[in-house]
Structure formats: structure tokens, C-alpha cells
Structure 1
Amino acid sequence: MRVSAKSDYALRALIEIAQHVEDGPLSAEAIGKAQDIPHGFLQAILADLRRAGIVMSQRGKAGGWRLGRDAEEITVADVVRAVDGPLVSVYGIRPESVEYNGAAQVLQPVWIAARSSLREVFEEVTLAALAVGELPPSVEARTHDDDAWRPH
């Protein structure tokens, strides 16, 4: 899986919002400045997140962006799906819907297994955990494997 700039920026923006939840809504300008996210790109991302119910906008002098639900209820998977669609797709099609012929049929379970593996991490890590800089133990443990850090 390739993490898109859109997903990365969305998560960075949400972490910023979550860290300031007690301060009230945060302006797009403040989010963008804090995380070096281009304003136009950030606006498009926030619109996607709003459609998914992850953030809410508030108009007015004290307006800005706030979480649409508790940070404990928002996962990395939710965010990626909101801005980029399914976690794993093959030519834009969900892996369970892809049809292969003959010997290539073995590919479908590979894509299904890859999606399952991503879900194990992305659905376990919440925005609340990211906002305080702590990962769930099972995810943290994956980072202790030296091979995880090596490019292949």
C-alpha cells in the first residue's frame, strides 16, 4: 500500500485538531500552518472529512474545525477511507470483487490477506492514541522488528 499525501495530511490535520479540542474550533489556517499543509489541499481534505462525519465546521468569528465525534472513535482506517476510499483496491475494485482466470486466481487471496493485515493496524490505532503519541501495544510491537524499518 502506498500512503497518499492526502491521507498523511488528513491524519496530521486531525492530530492537530485533537490536540486542541479543549480550545474550541481550530481554523484551517492554523492547522495548515502548524502542519505545513497547503491551504487549498487542506480545504479539500477537510471537506472529505466533513462528508464522512469525522470533522464539523463552525462558522463565525470563533469558527473553525472540530472533531465530529470522539477521538477514541476515529481510527486511521476511517480517515484513509474518507479521503482515499477502500484500504486495498485492485484497479479501483474491492479485492473480493476482482475476478481472475486460471493460475492467476491465487492473486485474490493475496489482496484479501493484505487488506486484513492493514486492518489489523489501521483499525486499532485511534486518533486519540495519535494525539497523545501512544500506539496500542500490538502496533508498537510491530515497530520493534528490525526488518520493519528496512526498505525492501
Structure 2
Amino acid sequence: MPPVDISARTEYAVRAMLILAEAATTEGGPVSVETLATRQALPRKFLEAIVADLRTAGLVTSTRGARGGYSLAREPQEISLGDVFRAVDGPLAEVRGLRPHETAYEGVAQHLPTVWVAVRASLRAVLDETSLAETFSGDLPDHVRSLAETPDAWESR
């Protein structure tokens, strides 16, 4: 199985949403795409398309005008990282274009769908159970922090 790929699109979306989470807790007003791009050194044109996807998914709202921009559609604690991933890149896990539970094999590989479903469940346990607010504050869920603190978590294999 290839490595789980966190695309630039997803990474940029999460970083932009964290700026909006910060704005929701401090400034309270909309944030322009220009500001989002500048604050995290993101490519503006690419970010415009990403924010459009976030808006379509109902995660951000837009305000027009000179003081316009984007704001979170819900409170930061109500938006999970999984919501952001799905908004810009689709399902968390796929196997050759199929959802893990849609796969089927015969013979020696017959139990492989269970592994694929477990991989998806692991991603969900981290991404769906970690909110923007928790990520912004660093007060991550205990199970996420525990996974990151395992001795080999930061090592490449």
C-alpha cells in the first residue's frame, strides 16, 4: 500500500482553516484570501480554489466588499480535520478508487478488506476526533497525543 498522501491541497486547506479558527477566537471578522496566503506563505491562486471548495462544503462562509473575506461557518471546535480533508480531497481512504469496505478478494487476500477498513478507521480516529480548535490550541486529544509520543512515531520507515 502506498503511503498515506496528505496532499498540498489538504495541507494548505488545514493551514488556512487554522488562521480562520484563530480569527474566530480573536478578531471575529472575515479574513481575505490575500491575508490567508500571506500569513502562511501559500500560493494565492491555488488557495482561492481551495477556499472555494471549503465554501462549497459548508465549512466557510464568504463576505463580499472591501472588508470581506472568509470566516468559519461553525465554531472551531465543531469542525474536525477530517471535515477539511474530505472537503478538498474526498474520502480519507480509497483502494484503487474504491472505498475500503467495497473491496473484495479471493484466496490468500480474502481478509485484506478488513485491513483496509482498519486503516480508514485509524485515520478517522485521528482526523475526525481532532478539531480545528484543538489543533490551533495544541490541546490535542489524549489518543492523538499518545500516538505522536510513541518512540518511533517521528521516525521514517
- Shorter-chain TM-score bucket reads over 0.9
Aligned mates of 2:97, 2:51 — CA distance in 1:
23
Establish whether residue 92 from structure 1 lines up as the match of residue 92 from structure 2. no
Specify every segment of 5 or more residues in structure 1 that has no aligned partner in the other structure, as ranges.
none
More helix by share: 1
Deviation digits for residues 80-135 of structure 1, max 9, x if unmatched? 11111111101121111122232222221111010111111111110011122221
Counterpart for residue 12 of structure 2: 9
Counterpart for residue 48 of structure 1: 53
- TM-score, length of structure 2 as denominator length: 0.92
- TM-score, length of structure 1 as denominator length: 0.95
Instruction: Give secondary structure in 1 for the equivalent of 2:144.
Output: helix
How many pairs are equivalent?
Answer: 152
Question: Does 11-20 or 141-150 show the bigger shift?
Answer: 141-150
**1:74-93 → structure 2 map (5 Å cutoff):** 74-93=79-98
Aligned mates of 1:104, 1:136 — CA distance in 2:
35
Aligned mates of 2:110, 2:34 — CA distance in 1:
49
RMSD of the TM alignment (CA)?
1.1
Provide the identity percentage.
Answer: 45
Specify every segment of 5 or more residues in structure 2 that has no aligned partner in the other structure, as ranges.
none
